Amino acid sequence: MTNINFLNSLRVFLITLFLGLCVVPCLAWGDDLDNDDSLDLLNAWQGTSTGASRIPKPISQSAENITVLTAKEIGQLNAHTLADILDTVPGVQMQLRGAPGGVAFTYVQSTNYNHITVLLDGISINDLGDHFANVSAIPAQIIERVEIVKGSASSAWGQALGGVINVITKSPEQRKLGGSVTASIGERTTADTRAEITGTSGRLGYYLSSGYLGSNGISPNSALSLNSNSTYAKLAYALPGQGEMQASFNYYHTDRGTVYSPDILDFKEKQNVNSLLATLALNKPLSDSLVLDIHASHINDRQTNFDTLISSGSEWTVFGKSQISAVKASLLWRTENNTLVGGSDYEHVEYTNDSSFRKKDRWGVYLNDTLTLGPLSVSPGVRFDRTGTGDQVSAAFGTTWQVTDTTLLRAYTARGFGVFQFTQNVSPEKIWTSQVGAESTAIPYLWLKTTLFRNEIWNVYSSRNLDPAVPERRIALGAELEARTVPVFNTSLGAGYTFTDTVRTIDDHQVYESARHTLQLALRYDDSTYRGVLNGRHVYWNGVPGYGGKYWGLIWDLHLGATLLKRENSSLELFFTGHNLFNGKQFMDETLPNNSRWFEGGMRVRF
């Protein structure tokens, strides 16, 4: 396996080097690129988001707690997958296993990993087994933007009890041909080699990305090896007059180790995953104020776990297959002061595992509105879902008030649900979430955002319950604070802290494995030629006593990059990352320790 990984890395690395040498002569004679504009924090809430209510609107009119990551911020991280990106977001806790591309569990404000719905261009990628979203399957290279909604978004998306992560992929560039080739190599033959091409000819635009990610396992998880391949393609056709049709295809395959515990569990597990997503979409303005949007999609996910008792060599397999065929349609009506979207989602779902087969037809209808009255915006929403395990009504109401040009207030409350045990006839989990918050740049050179939240969840089935057979009710009270400075001499600081106290109401006992403290720190430098990001993070996991969890101190990562030669559409870039620089320990269970210190580096050619 070492030879296979090395040859894959070497092949693409040599191709990248060859392309780099080819473009060096023309780059050397070209003018430097104009410096990118620094992040303007005074306009931090003027960006657009669609993740919360399916309405494209300024974040200043979004009552929900939303974090948006731009292409520039993503590019500074030298990230391999979506999991690496989310690991830097305040209020998000990531449990990562093994090398980049390994199994990753995503928690938002200490809700469970299967409470989060992950969307790829508006299509859910959560599986049917337990609503798990494989965020390691989405390469960072294809991502243009990430929108994270913290709190229930069921009035727009259905089962989105704990929030939504909406990933917007890259669109075709408006030139004949462009692209990039990237290769990196790290310890234990950890390799990431990728290529992308993009362009537009006439009305037809295209984007294609393909790559390999592999590792022989990062110490101390040396048994958690990984070999994965992914391909993503998008075609966009501009219709005569107005409107656009899009088609996309996403394929992902991996073989990876997920658990290796010879001393404590006497158990190891390897996993084979195959996933395919195909979509077809139409966006067509019917008038100046009315837009029709239709999406059709099909998902086929197949996962097989190969389990072994190490001492005896006894082996068995666990198999699961999800198939989801869906059609979504909506109408967006926009006037000067009002934006209204209504639509319907239909899914035919089938799930097969070792012991059962189940299929259902699920559908939902929704209506979400945003009304703007001067500095005040009001956003009501409602949705009805027929889930196959009971009908659900979700509602939301939010408001924002721009007090001054530099200060914004938010308030939001919502009811939501989640169906996390598809093969069992149990009632969906439900939530009532409430938030109040403020965002301000009143202090010169500083952006501040604070949110207070309360999440009440009931019908919770978990092995952590007082009685696992009896559903529980939980209440989480918390606060989140984010701060960021305007770049001075190309340097900026960022910080985020989240506190959550989660208790079960039956005895007011804290819920284990619900993180109480999350801290994110960042030091950034970017002068358009050289860049660097130093990230520090701490998660106090509040693990089960006796499980050997360790979570003191911070995990520090350093990302460096240098664009040595550049012109309008071409550049040669070198990058380097040091992970866990001080060998920190941060894990909730000693059978799943985090990676120790390791390094990687590579190069990227854009053309």
According to DSSP H, which parts of 427-499 are helical?
A: none
More confident residue, 254 or 218: 254
More confident residue, 36 or 312: 312
Name which of 602, 582, 603, 583 is nearest 594 in CA terms: 583
Report how far apart the first and last C-alpha atoms of the chain are (Å, whole number). 32
Torsion of the alpha carbons at 465, 467, 468 and 469, rounded to the nearest 10: -140
pLDDT tens string 374-396 = 999 999 999 999 998 889 999 99
pLDDT (0 to 100) of residue 23: 38
pLDDT (0 to 100) of residue 423: 72
Long-range pairs, 263-266, Cβ under 8 A, ≥24? 264/590, 264/591, 265/591, 266/309, 266/310, 266/311
Chain centroid to CA 225: 23
Check: CATH 2.40.170.20 for 2-606?
A: yes
pLDDT tens string 84-106 = 999 999 999 999 998 999 999 99
Counting Cα atoms < 13 Å in the Cβ hemisphere of 169 gives 28
Inter-residue contact 195 to 180 (CB < 8 Å):
yes
Residue 52 DSSP code: T
pLDDT tens string 123-164 = 999 999 889 999 999 999 999 999 999 999 999 999 999 999
Q: What angle do CA 463, 477, 50 make, to 5 degrees?
A: 90
Q: Where are the beta strands (DSSP E) in 407-540?
A: 407-418, 429-440, 446-460, 472-485, 491-504, 509-510, 517-526, 530-540
Long-range pairs, 541-544, Cβ under 8 A, ≥24? 541/93, 541/513, 541/515, 541/586, 541/587, 541/588, 542/510, 542/511, 542/512, 542/513, 542/514, 542/515, 542/516, 542/588, 543/512, 543/513, 543/588, 543/589, 544/464, 544/512, 544/513, 544/588, 544/589
10 Å Cβ neighbour count for 464? Answer: 14
More confident residue, 55 or 337: 337
Rounded to whole angstroms, how far apart are CA atoms 355 and 23? 57
Name which of 465, 366, 381 is nearest 415 in CA terms: 381
Write the DSSP string, 251-292: EEEEEEEEEEETTTT-EEEEEEEEEEEEEEEEEEESSSSEEE
Chain centroid to CA 247: 22
pLDDT (0 to 100) of residue 27: 36
pLDDT (0 to 100) of residue 220: 59
Strands 204-215 and 190-201: antiparallel
Band (273; pLDDT cuts 50, 70, 90): very high
406 dihedral zone (left: phi>0; alpha: psi -120 to 50; beta): alpha
The residue extents of the domains of the chain are 2-606
Rounded to whole angstroms, how far apart are CA atoms 76 and 88? 12
Counting Cα atoms < 13 Å in the Cβ hemisphere of 156 gives 29
Band (577; pLDDT cuts 50, 70, 90): very high
Q: What is the CA radius of gyration of the chain?
A: 24
Q: From residue 20, how far is each of 413, 423, 542, 605 by CA, in Å?
A: 53, 52, 48, 6
Strands 116-120 and 163-169: parallel
Residue 139 DSSP code: B
More confident residue, 44 or 436: 436
